[in-house]
């Protein structure tokens, strides 16, 4: 009887014939293998040892200056039907895409080692997890995949048992930006990436598998693959409720995942548990609830801005056994980046003598790769085979005006619209233009592996008889007052908002009903101890009917951009809220209390 690994062996042989490596190494994920690989990289300069006294087991990798971030314009979804990829993705015909990228793969591994990396996204024994195999010629990728996934022999055993896996082929190639592509073939469960050694372009288990291919798998199999953190909130009674939350970049996602409660909350017995900081796979359980796992085993986090004031848990976990990428270094060889309160850089991320006239010491997208277990707030439930039950789904963006601190969607369809319409406004410092709204549905715009209109329909499909779906909320930590300063203190104080959210899920928090959703009244949030004026509290929770009327019109235009595939139910939801706003503007009714749940 042929082994279920025969297809894997044939694929490895086919890739070897195409790429012509000097040797082939099947990764087993062992400590010995990892030590040997690190020794080789330290010897050839792929890794640089950092200060062993202050940062034991930590190393630094410097990527090519032209290879420092994801390349969305070179990232393609390759489906037979262009409309299946949708207007939210770059598309290429699969036949043309294979031909184009295979020509670049031809002979690209001559003189190099081909590494075969079997891996599992999620706990090795979880029915929610899915497996993949990445072939690469980068030992740096191997080292990172060992941290970020359950990599090695156990994953190979599961692949042999299931006979199904996502194929990922990667080569750094010539690190030539003109010969760089990241191709996804969702109908074939295949990824091909060449020309980059950086992060999401090269660690194919991350965005490529866990989101772009994962979202396609999720739609066909009846679950959700989302760009969300998972955090557990334990109350003084010892009860833990789990929240999944999606935010675009620069909106505090990792900080929320690793939140440290304010002192008063800590003394009262509140605790916060980190299950995941970036990706969430959710599937309906037998009880009708959505159960979630973090498919990753590590964090690939942004270093600049991480410090004791912004994210002390993150800073604590990266003091040992961490791979740093593109940070600066101090005179005594400690890692350094902008935002650290201690130390002074002497070399920048390129390895040059530091001169602030040449730019920052650390690249703005400098990263750390670290095991999730090193986080002080890591939850053992991250390894639970069945996952954790999700009580609330939270969307959020950076909106200096209009959007209240928090509001609750009225039902699942309304919540899907809230997620579809979410976005952030740009700032002059970042873009040269103020108040430009960029919509990023469910924070998935760069990562959804198929047509957004079909994606919205998939979300709506979970609203079935017997389903006990999470309540959906929207938060906005970034509303500003007339003086241009943030009204809300953020960081650990966000737990006050999460407490209200969980109270709404449990029927113990009150709210005011408005056309855009349920908003807490000024006395419904626990704001004791905060230096917030009565006017600031009112402004944080204000619903500007005229402003929201314009917002709903803009949402309608955005939804229309997805054409005839857009679900009618989502259009109807938008029109119903727009009509309610029109009525509210005309009659200015007194808001109604929405007590409990």
Q: Which residues are catalytic?
A: 251
CB 202 within 8 A of CB 136: yes
Phi, psi dihedral angles at 188 (to 5 degrees)? -110, 0
CB 538 within 8 A of CB 524: no
Q: What angle do CA 461, 256, 339 make, to 5 degrees?
A: 135
- Residue whose C-alpha is closest to residue 301's, from 277, 283, 284, 330: 277
Question: Other C-beta atoms within 10 Å of 485: how many?
Answer: 8
State how far the Cα of 201 lies from the Cα of 140, in Å rounded to an integer. Answer: 13
Residue 111: C-alpha distances to residues 18, 76, 192, 355 (Å): 14, 29, 20, 37
3-state secondary structure 64-98: CCCCCCCCHHHEEECCCCHHHHCCCCCECCHHHHH
* Unique residue bearing structure tokens 């902008």: 338
State how far the Cα of 577 lies from the Cα of 408, in Å rounded to an integer. Answer: 14
State how far the Cα of 531 lies from the Cα of 476, in Å rounded to an integer. Answer: 19
CB 74 within 8 A of CB 182: yes
State how far the Cα of 454 lies from the Cα of 444, in Å rounded to an integer. Answer: 13
State how far the Cα of 376 lies from the Cα of 300, in Å rounded to an integer. Answer: 16
Q: What angle do CA 285, 165, 125 make, to 5 degrees?
A: 45
Residue 364: C-alpha distances to residues 359, 469, 561 (Å): 10, 38, 33
State how far the Cα of 224 lies from the Cα of 463, in Å rounded to an integer. Answer: 13
State how far the Cα of 195 lies from the Cα of 70, in Å rounded to an integer. Answer: 12
- Give burial (CB, 10 Å; 0-12/13-18/19+) of 175: middle
CB 59 within 8 A of CB 324: yes
State how far the Cα of 389 lies from the Cα of 367, in Å rounded to an integer. Answer: 30
State how far the Cα of 374 lies from the Cα of 316, in Å rounded to an integer. Answer: 8
State how far the Cα of 125 lies from the Cα of 120, in Å rounded to an integer. Answer: 9
What does the CA dihedral 487, 488, 491, 494 come to, rounded to 10 degrees?
A: -170
Q: How many CA atoms lie within 13 A of 107 on its CB side?
A: 1
CB 361 within 8 A of CB 354: yes
State how far the Cα of 501 lies from the Cα of 512, in Å rounded to an integer. Answer: 13
State how far the Cα of 370 lies from the Cα of 366, in Å rounded to an integer. Answer: 14
Residue 505: C-alpha distances to residues 158, 216, 510 (Å): 37, 30, 11
What is the 8-class DSSP label of residue 271? E
Q: In DSSP terms, which residues pair with 48 in a beta bridge?
A: 60
């Amino acid at each position: 009887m042929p082994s279920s690994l025969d297809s894997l062996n044939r694929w490895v042989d086919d890739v070897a014939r195409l790429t012509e490596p000097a040797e082939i190494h099947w990764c087993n994920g062992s400590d010995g293998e990892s030590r040997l690989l690190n020794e080789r990289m330290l010897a050839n300069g792929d890794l640089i040892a950092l200060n062993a006294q202050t940062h034991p087991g930590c190393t630094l990798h410097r990527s090519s200056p032209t290879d420092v971030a994801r390349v969305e314009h070179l990232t393609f979804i390759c489906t037979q039907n262009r409309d299946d990829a949708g207007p939210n993705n770059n598309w290429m015909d699969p036949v043309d895409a294979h031909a184009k990228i295979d020509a670049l793969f031809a002979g690209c591994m001559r003189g190099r080692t081909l590494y075969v990396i079997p891996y599992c996204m999620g706990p090795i024994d979880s029915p929610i997890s899915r497996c993949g195999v990445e072939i690469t010629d980068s030992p740096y990728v191997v080292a990172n995949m060992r941290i970020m996934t359950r990599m090695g022999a156990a994953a190979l055993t599961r692949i042999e048992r299931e006979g199904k896996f996502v194929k990922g082929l990667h080569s750094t190639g010539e690190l030539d930006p003109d010969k760089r592509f990241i191709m996804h073939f969702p109908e074939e469960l295949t990824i091909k990436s060449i020309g980059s050694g950086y992060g999401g372009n090269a660690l194919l288990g991350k965005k490529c598998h866990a989101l772009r291919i994962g979202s396609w798998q999720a739609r066909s199999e009846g679950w959700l693959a989302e760009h969300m953190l998972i955090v557990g909130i334990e109350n003084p009674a010892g009860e833990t409720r789990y929240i999944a939350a999606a935010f675009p970049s620069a909106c505090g996602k990792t900080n929320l995942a690793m939140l440290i409660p304010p002192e008063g909350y800590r003394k009262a017995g509140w605790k916060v548990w980190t299950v995941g900081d970036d990706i969430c796979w959710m599937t309906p359980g037998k009880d009708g609830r959505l159960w979630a796992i973090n498919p990753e085993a590590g964090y690939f986090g942004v270093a600049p801005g991480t410090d004791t004031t912004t994210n002390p848990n993150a800073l604590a976990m990266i003091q040992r056994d961490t791979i740093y990428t593109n940070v600066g270094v101090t005179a005594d060889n400690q890692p350094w980046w902008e935002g650290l309160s201690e130390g002074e850089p002497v070399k920048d991320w390129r390895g040059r003598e530091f001169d602030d006239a040449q730019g920052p010491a650390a690249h703005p997208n400098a990263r750390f790769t670290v095991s999730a277990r090193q986080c002080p707030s890591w939850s053992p439930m991250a390894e639970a085979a069945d996952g954790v039950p999700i009580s609330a789904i939270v969307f959020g963006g950076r909106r200096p005006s209009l959007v209240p601190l928090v509001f609750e969607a009225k039902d699942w369809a309304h919540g899907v619209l809230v997620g579809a319409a979410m976005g952030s406004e740009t700032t002059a410092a970042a873009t040269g233009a103020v108040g430009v709204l960029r919509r990023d549905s469910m924070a998935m715009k760069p990562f959804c592996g198929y047509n957004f209109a079909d994606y919205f329909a998939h979300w709506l499909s979970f609203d079935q008889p017997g389903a006990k779906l999470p309540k959906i909320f929207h938060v906005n930590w970034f509303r500003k007052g007339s003086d241009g300063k943030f009204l809300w203190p953020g960081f650990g104080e966000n737990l006050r908002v999460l407490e209200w959210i969980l109270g709404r899920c449990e029927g113990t928090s009150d709210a005011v009903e408005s056309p855009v959703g349920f908003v807490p009244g000024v006395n419904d949030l626990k704001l004791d101890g905060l230096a917030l004026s009565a006017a600031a509290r009112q402004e944080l929770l204000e619903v500007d009917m005229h402003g929201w009327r314009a917002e709903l019109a803009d949402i309608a235009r955005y939804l229309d951009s997805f054409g005839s595939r857009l679900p009618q139910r989502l259009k109807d939801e938008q029109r119903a809220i727009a009509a309610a706003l029109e009525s509210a503007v005309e009659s200015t009714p007194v808001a109604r209390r929405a007590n409990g749940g």
